[in-house]
Homo-oligomer: A and B are copies of this chain.
Amino acid sequence: MKLFTSGDFHAFEKYHRINFVNTLSGLRSASLIGTMGEHGLTNLAIFNTLVHIGANPPFMGFIMRPHTVERHTYENILKQKSYTINLIHPGIIEQAHQTSAKFERKVSEFEKCQFTEEYINDFPVPFVGESRVKMGLSFVEQQHIQCNRTILIIGKVEQVSLSEDVIDDDGTINHEKLQTVAVSGLNSYYDNRRSAKLPYARP
């Protein structure tokens, strides 16, 4: 094993450092966050920082980069208070990745990346029709992180759409059946296979 220390990180070429540090935390959930801005203009963006905050009530968070440039997702969530989180499967990886391109403000990534806007149960923001796990959330709070001005956005899961066939008897969602994609860093996508389901651990 090789040891890398702060001096090494600093000496890395910029993109080498970005890739190295972004892939350091292993595999992460890849999801598309859907929002709606002014005049009904929808927005869709891929995020790889989804984090479970709590089960009851069901809270979920993600990290926004600093609000120093236009962040449509952030601005829309604060105004509209509702947003959708849609998981990714192998059939939509390339389209999903494409949402990370810098499009103009006046175009919707739903249209540009050929995703279907799906409206479910009167939820005010569209879901990704092609996704297999579609969550509708209401904004709950934001935490401003001091060290680098990123922002933790937390929402409450108000509704979820998915196939009943992928839910185990004990409520566990089977992501092998769903073929849920994981991502590492900004651009490495991973397929997965459930290898173990272990019982509650006791000493």
Q: Which residues of A contact B (CB under 8 A)?
A: 1-6, 9, 12-13, 15-31, 48-61, 63, 87, 90, 93-94, 97-104, 112, 120-121, 133-135, 140-141, 143, 145-148, 150, 152, 154, 156-164, 167-168, 170-176, 180-182, 184-203
Query: Chain B nearest CB: distance from A169 CB in Å?
Result: 9
Query: Chain B nearest CB: distance from A7 CB in Å?
Result: 10
Q: Which of A16, A52, A54, A140 has the most CB of B within 10 A?
A: A52
Q: Which of A15, A24, A202 has the most CB of B within 10 A?
A: A24
Q: Which of B15, B53, B188 contacts A148 (CB 8 A)?
A: B53
Find out whether the CB atom of B193 lies under 8 angstroms from the CB atom of A190.
Answer: yes
Find out whether the CB atom of A175 lies under 8 angstroms from the CB atom of B27.
Answer: yes
Find out whether the CB atom of A25 lies under 8 angstroms from the CB atom of B190.
Answer: no
With the chains together, A182 CA to B172 CA distance in Å?
Answer: 15
Query: Chain B nearest CB: distance from A166 CB in Å?
Result: 10
Q: Which of B24, B94, B120, B202 contacts A157 (CB 8 A)?
A: B24
Find out whether the CB atom of A58 lies under 8 angstroms from the CB atom of B101.
Answer: no
